[in-house]
Structure 1
Amino acid sequence: MAAMRRASCAISATFSKFFQLHITTGHTFSPVVTNMTTDKYFKYVLLKEKNMLLTMEHAAQEENRLFPNPERIDKVEESMKNLEDVVKERNRAYWLLETGETGERPSSLIEDELGREVHKMFDEHPVPMDHESEDTISKWQDVRNFQRLMKEKEFLEKRRALRRVRSHVCKLLRRFPDVDMEKLQQQYPEVDVQALRKRKDSRGHHDKNLS
């Protein structure tokens, strides 16, 4: 009888817990929290979770098994990026209010050793740039050849893209002869729609072709 009474009490407690209206749960992340709380989320929750998932993924690869739900790593990285963006936004607003500047390290587009424009953060140099040696890598023959080939590749890509746009516009003119020419020109400003209208590729099986 005592065992049956304990079992009935356990079942009733389980049912009461299952059907209760309010269940205490943890709150989701909100930008309203302080920077200290955000730092704790980043260090002790997300970073720990990412390290655990990476360890589990490595162990699964060592045992030649599939890592279950690999998208969890992407979700953790996205959450870490969101937290970092919130912290940067708050720091930027604070420094703008206090000093009128963002407080971030300045950056700009510069030309690297291979002649490409890259976005780089400013840092300290042991020697001022105007005192550096003129014998730089940009004067090498290999780098000049690389720059020439890079420009040639960019030119060919632009020409192929323009050719694809022209072909697409000709197909539209061939299929829809009553299309609005002004709107078509606004949508594709890189080509001359009126000139393409006179091409043979724009002629369709209708009597609205231009001679």
Structure 2
Amino acid sequence: MASRSRAILPVTIIVLLFVLLYVGLYLNPRHESDDSPMIGKLSPEFDLPDLLVPGERFSRADLNGQVTLLNVWATWCPACRAEHDVLMRLAATEDVPIYSINWKDREESGGSRAAAIRWLDVLGNPYDKTGDDGDNIAGLEWAVTGAPETYLIDVEGRICERITGPLNDLEYPNPENSQEVKNNVGNIMAIIRKMRAADGRCLPKG
């Protein structure tokens, strides 16, 4: 009996470690500090097939000349599902174009292009346009580390903010939780309004 217990213990530990890793990667938002090398630089060039419109393309040119949000998501990402309702409310109530990259939605990742199309058909589509990046082509250029990620881009195509983890629309985000505050759409919209008052350009840091 004792030897059997000793044999079960390593298996239990391994399962527990996998559970903790899952929670850390998918359920807990990640935080990217403002000193990310992406901040203040021109957004990378990309050219992807449109997820929903055969023959159409989605590229950086679609983002030019306006303040926009670019959201990276996937159907295999639990945090993306939680965030989607927030994006739907944001698209319905605020005047800000939201574009997206459907990232690594392929069978080897637990998703598919068809699943991504179904996702938007069933849950609603908050995006002006969505690129199909199942092969991680744009993801590499943008240095995407996971989903969801959201980028705030100015009229010149510069990245003003990189927000990792799901957006939230809490009325009162916890001021002691800097991640919760940074990912709050109310605060993001406040930044966008200030940017528009400054000719649509990124605001100075500090």
- Name the TM-score, length of structure 1 as normaliser: 0.20
Bigger CA radius of gyration: 1
| More strand as a share of residues | 2
- Name the TM-score, length of structure 2 as normaliser: 0.20
| More helix as a share of residues | 1
Tell me which of the two structures has the higher relative contact order, counting C-alpha pairs closer than 8 angstroms and 6 or more residues apart: 2
